[in-house]
Amino acid sequence: MKELIINIIFCTIGAIIAAFSLEYFLVPNKIIDGGVVGISIMLSYITKANLGLFLTILNIPFLLLALNEFGKKFILLAFYSVCVLAYFVNIFSNEDFVTHDMLLAALFGGGILGIGVGLILKNNACLDGTEILAMKIAKKIPYSVGEIIMFINIFIFMTAGLLYGWESAMYSTLAYLVAYRAIDLIVQGLNEENSIRIISDKKEELGQAIIKNLNRTVTYIEAEGGYTNTKKTMIYCIVPRIELYKLKEIVMAIDEDAFMSIGNVHEVYGKRYKKK
3-state class of 202 per DSSP?
coil
- For the stretch 204-239, pLDDT in tens is 899 999 998 888 889 999 888 777 778 888 999 988
CA-to-CA distance for 156 and 256, rounded, in angstroms? Answer: 53
Residue 92 pLDDT: 85
How would you class 113 by CB atoms within 10 Å of its CB: exposed for 0-12, middle for 13-18, buried for 19 or more? buried
Sign of the CA dihedral running 8, 11, 16, 22: negative
Domain spans in the chain, listed from the N-terminal domain onward: 2-188, 193-265
Give the residue among 118, 132, 11 at the shortest CA–CA distance from 70.
132
The pTM score is 0.73
Residue 275 pLDDT: 47
27 CA to centre of own chain: 22
Q: Are the beta carbons of 53 and 86 closer than 8 angstroms?
A: yes
Residue 276 pLDDT: 44
How many Cα atoms occupy the beta-carbon half-sphere of 102 within 13 Å? 15
Q: Which fold has domain 193-265?
A: Alpha-Beta Plaits (3.30.70)
**Ranges of the chain whose pLDDT falls below 50:** 275-276
Residue 145 pLDDT: 62
Residue 63 pLDDT: 84
Residue 181 pLDDT: 85
